[in-house]
Amino acid sequence: MEKRQHQNIELIHSFFLAYNQKNMKALESILDPEINWFIPGEHPLSGLKKGVGGVLEYFKEMEYYQFQASAIVMGVDDGYVVDCHRNWTDFNGERFETMSCLLWRIEEGKIKEVFNFPSDQKSVNEFFLKNRRLL
């Protein structure tokens, strides 16, 4: 008999699957409408993303950079998930890879709040400043 994972871990796995597939409809279904997503740093994409619309707009911007994410380890309780994952892209023929830890607050089966902690904020800032998307 297969042991089922904690429902909050399953929710975060669903998030990564939808994110990697760039499935905005699936992402919208697992994000709380009033979500707050905190992106640290000093680059054009940093700052607080408010509401599902703000977070999805951020993800659409991130599509330009073709980032992928893969979970390394997760911890869970009934209100939070802590995940460490690697992020990578081969943007403009150049490999950029880093790790991040995220603290996810889960409420009523939805992702309510996310805090992002990159392993090397300086390199993340430099990547986004160097590869700034000009609209």
Domains and CATH numbers, the chain: 7-130 (3.10.450.50)
Structure confidence at residue 37 (pLDDT): 98
Q: Give yes or no for a contact between 112 and 34, defined as CB atoms under 8 angstroms apart.
A: yes
- The sign of the torsion formed by the CA atoms of 8, 14, 19, 20 equals positive
pLDDT digits (tens, 9 = 90+) for 37-95: 999 999 999 999 999 999 999 998 888 998 888 888 999 999 999 999 999 999 999 99
Strands 31-39 and 110-118: parallel
pLDDT for residue 118 is more than 90: yes
At residue 129, what are phi and psi to the nearest 5 degrees? -70, -40
Alpha-carbon torsion (51, 115, 104, 57), positive or negative: positive
